[in-house]
Amino acid sequence: MFDAGISSAVPGPAVVRNLPEKPRGRCIVVGAGKASAAMAAAVDQAWPDVDLEGVVVTRYGHATLAGRIDVLEAAHPVPDAMSQMSARRILQAVQGLSKDDLVIVLISGGGSALMTLPAGDMSLADKQAVNRALLVSGATIGEMNTVRKHLSRIKGGRLAAAAAPARVVTLAISDVPGDDPATIASGPTVPDPSTLGEAREIVERYRLKLPAAASQVLAGGEETPKPGAFPTDIRMIATPSLAMSAAAAVARRAGLTPLILGDALEGESRELGRVLAGIAKSAKLHGAPVAAPAVLLSGGEATVTIGDSPTGRGGRNTEFLLSFAIAMAGQSGVFAIAGDSDGIDGFDDAAGAFVTPDTLERARTAGCDPRHHLFAHDSYSFFEKIGDLVRTGPTFTNVNDIRAILIT
């Protein structure tokens, strides 16, 4: 089921199905995200007869050859110098175009960090500090991007505005709840309805400590382009809901009843683990909301709030699973997998992990205290010690997290 969800979002076929009419002039391909290199390769191969060039940026280790389109690599989730250089290259690539030219913008998850061009007098170090503060704040991805867009010279519609008068078509792979194009990679080609005032309110609500230069931009910087500022043509070519449907189809073929709980579940990872454990227990013991054999499917992007707690290794999926395992307390007949569809959960080399009825028993045999690992945000180390990490390597796509709970 996990593999089927990822396969549903393979970029190549989806890109080809959604290409626009070929231009009379040149075609410039730009993009950012974990799937951007694979997407760019598909465009290059599909249009050998078009005057085409461009540049995209992806995460380190996610690059692939893309013919006439240059592929750069940068850091994620905290931007580095390559993130800034890539953003400059992308912005330069769309300058000086005519109305006969076409800009294809390839956007996927991770693009916000990978394509970074700080606004005002902000330095790269300032932008890195902002990203780190956001990542541990507990803010939702939408709230993070509201702040990011107003601290950038390329996001929040600014890339599309720079490409005028050329036609701009965006092909997007969604990794955000609700598939809002303004949120994916901070919406570089989408007019931005959010405001500087909203960004300031988010900073205040989460008590974010921002560098002085960032605070100055939020206090008096330029607003992002608003709805109506330029025409938009945005095509969603892969989404979390399609991944859930693909996983459900595998379940049905295996004789299971799938119940899709949603493709946009948010919240604190450990809290989500407890909630889904409660649903799984009810299904196992009482046959509600679904009777066994069945599978509970969900997607979305939970959060991990670090706060002042000690910090180990782990991402939102392994933290979800550790909390789930503790709440299940060894209940027989219930198994789970959760992982990030891009192949990387947080900062580490695993997509996620498994939970089985004997997870806690095996952990204690290995000398692991599950609650200590959860408190220390050290879920990666917990699953590594018992051999239950899921390592896929880079998948070259990203439709957010895929969770499946099997009830036998």
Q: 48 and 100, same structural domain?
A: yes
pLDDT band for position 178 (cuts 50, 70, 90): confident
| Residues 219 and 338 grouped into a single domain | no
Domain tally, the chain: 2
**Could you report the per-residue pLDDT of 62-110, keeping only the tens digit for each?**
899 999 999 999 998 889 999 999 999 999 999 999 999 999 999 998 8
Residue 347: pLDDT band (50, 70, 90) is confident
263 and 234 co-located in one domain: no
Residue 200 pLDDT class (50, 70, 90 cuts): very high
pLDDT of residue 301: 86
Same domain, 247 and 227: no
Per-residue pLDDT of 356-373, as tens digits, reads 999 999 999 999 999 999
Q: What is the mean pLDDT of residues 297-304?
A: 92
- If phi over 0 gives left and psi between -120 and 50 gives alpha, with beta otherwise, what is residue 214? alpha
Q: How far is 55 from 87, CA to CA, in rounded Å?
A: 10
**Final residue belonging to a domain, choices 238, 256, 290:** 238
Q: What is the CA radius of gyration of the chain?
A: 22
The pLDDT score that the predictor gives to residue 175 is 86
Confidence of residue 5 (pLDDT cuts 50, 70, 90): very high
Task: Please tell me whether residue 3 adopts helix, strand or coil conformation.
Answer: helix
d(CA 27, CA 24): 9
| Element counts in the chain: helices (H) and strands (E) | 16, 12
Identify whether residues 23 and 125 lie together within a single domain. Answer: yes
Average pLDDT of the chain is 94
pLDDT at residue 310, as a whole number: 62
pLDDT at 91: 97
HSE-CB of 23 using CA atoms within 13 angstroms: 20
389 within a domain of the structure (yes/no): yes
pLDDT given at position 179: 87
Mean pLDDT of all residues in 249-272 = 96
Strand partners, 354: 337
- Whether residues 162 and 269 share a domain: the answer is no
Band (pLDDT 50/70/90 cuts) for residue 28 is: very high
Q: How far is CA 49 from the centre of its chain?
A: 33
Q: What CATH number does residue 224 fall under?
A: 3.40.50.10180
pLDDT of residue 348: 84
Residue 144 counted as domain residue: yes
Residue 177 has pLDDT above 80, yes or no: no
**Residue 309: pLDDT above 70?**
no
pTM of the entire predicted model: 0.83
Domain membership flag for residue 272: yes
Q: Is there a single domain that holds both residue 170 and residue 305?
A: no
Kindly state the tokens that stand for 96. Answer: 């000086």
Query: Are 232 and 245 part of one and the same domain?
Result: no
Residue 153 lies in a domain: yes
The confidence score (pLDDT) of residue 215 equals 96
Do 322 and 216 sit in the same domain of this protein? Answer: no
Angle in degrees, CA 354, 391, 368, rounded to 5? 50
- Does 233 share its domain with 315? no
Asked whether the predicted pLDDT for residue 408 surpasses 90, the reply is yes
Instruction: For residues 227 and 244, state if they share a domain.
Output: no
**Is the per-residue pLDDT at 374 higher than 80?**
yes
314 and 349, same structural domain? yes
pLDDT at position 266: 87
Interatomic CA distance for residues 114 and 107, integer angstroms: 11
> Structural domain of residue 38, as residue ranges?
11-238
Angle subtended by helix axes 141-149 and 196-205, to nearest 10 = 130
3, part of any domain: no
Percent of residues, the chain, with pLDDT higher than 90: 84
Per-residue DSSP letter, 22? P
